[in-house]
Amino acid sequence: MSAAIEYFQYVLAPQMLIGLVLGVAVILVALGLTIIFGLLDVINMSHGEFYALGAFIALALASIGLPFWLLLILVPLAMLPVGYIVERGLIQRVFHSGERHVTTLLLTFGLGLVMEDAFRLVFGPNPHKPETPISGAIDILGVFLPLYRLFLIVGGAVVVTLVALVVYRTRLGAMVRAAAFDKHMAASLGVPVQHVYAGAFAFGVALAGLAGVLLAPIYTVFPTMGRDFILMAFTVVIVGGMGSIAGVVVAGVLLTQVQAISSLYISPVWSDPIVFGIMVIMLMVRPQGLFGRLGHG
């Protein structure tokens, strides 16, 4: 019995804690993606670059002396008009075409490439490591967890809760869900659907920027950093259900725990195939994901 407890304390628990930190990071990136995916039905391939843009803006503002805690507010606010302009200036132009899914996918993919090269030209190809705003570590069940990673877990839970409250408990959220469910019915009831679409896209981009600020001190900032999480974020959105906040949380924790724990018993190179295998199985047996999609709950 004591051997089992020691195995849990010294082997499983540390690995699960690592998986939880990674899960929160993926959830933060996937949160904006699932809102855009669930509402606009647009596969935003540039979402990873918006996450990187948030990190680079934070890096630039920190270099002129602004504190990290202020950046948590300023960067998402700065990203809102960026997202709104992109939706109104680019996405809307191809949104009603017959091949909408293909054109929006290619458009956002191209936008991501442009942004990635722009980051390289402006900030250079080398990684930047922002200063960690919280130093020290805490002992949890015999596992030393850096305090900033603990803050990330708690902060991530707060962000998800606030976003869920906005989507499910406010008039604005009701308009978003109505537009996602039936845009024609929503428009007939006076909902400004086009502005709701642009606003939701901007909100998703702002959340990506916030994720960039929060994760930069852990994962460093570099031009291709958006690629690190975007594939996993898409997997989480598909498994959880497009537009479902609860689905993102459950799928994010589930898949990253599978990834972390499986690496104890088999080579880590098999972790990603296992996770993507779960996504394939989910698409075959439940294409709508664990929790359905936004507006259909």
Domain ranges of the chain: 1-285
155 versus 38: the higher-pLDDT residue is 155
Q: What is the DSSP letter of 221?
A: B
- Residues 106-133 have a mean pLDDT of 92
Is-contact 214 152, C-beta < 8 A? yes
pLDDT tens digits, 174-221: 888 888 778 888 888 888 888 888 998 999 999 999 999 999 998 889
SS3 67: coil
- Residues 255-275 have a mean pLDDT of 87
CA separation, residue 12 to residues 8, 27, 61, 268, 272 (Å):
5, 22, 39, 15, 19
- Residues 146-150 have a mean pLDDT of 91
Task: Work out the pLDDT band at 297, boundaries 50, 70, 90.
Answer: very low
Residue 293 has a pLDDT of 62
For the record, the structure tokens of 265 come out as 């018993």
For the record, the structure tokens of 15 come out as 């690995």
pLDDT at 56 over 60: yes
18 versus 1: the higher-pLDDT residue is 18
Distance CA 205, CA 132 (A): 24
Task: Work out the pLDDT band at 86, boundaries 50, 70, 90.
Answer: very high
Is-contact 31 248, C-beta < 8 A? yes
Answer whether CATH 1.20.1070 is correct for domain 1-285.
no
pLDDT at 296 over 60: no
- Residues 26-46 have a mean pLDDT of 85
- Residues 215-230 have a mean pLDDT of 88
Distance CA 203, CA 197 (A): 10
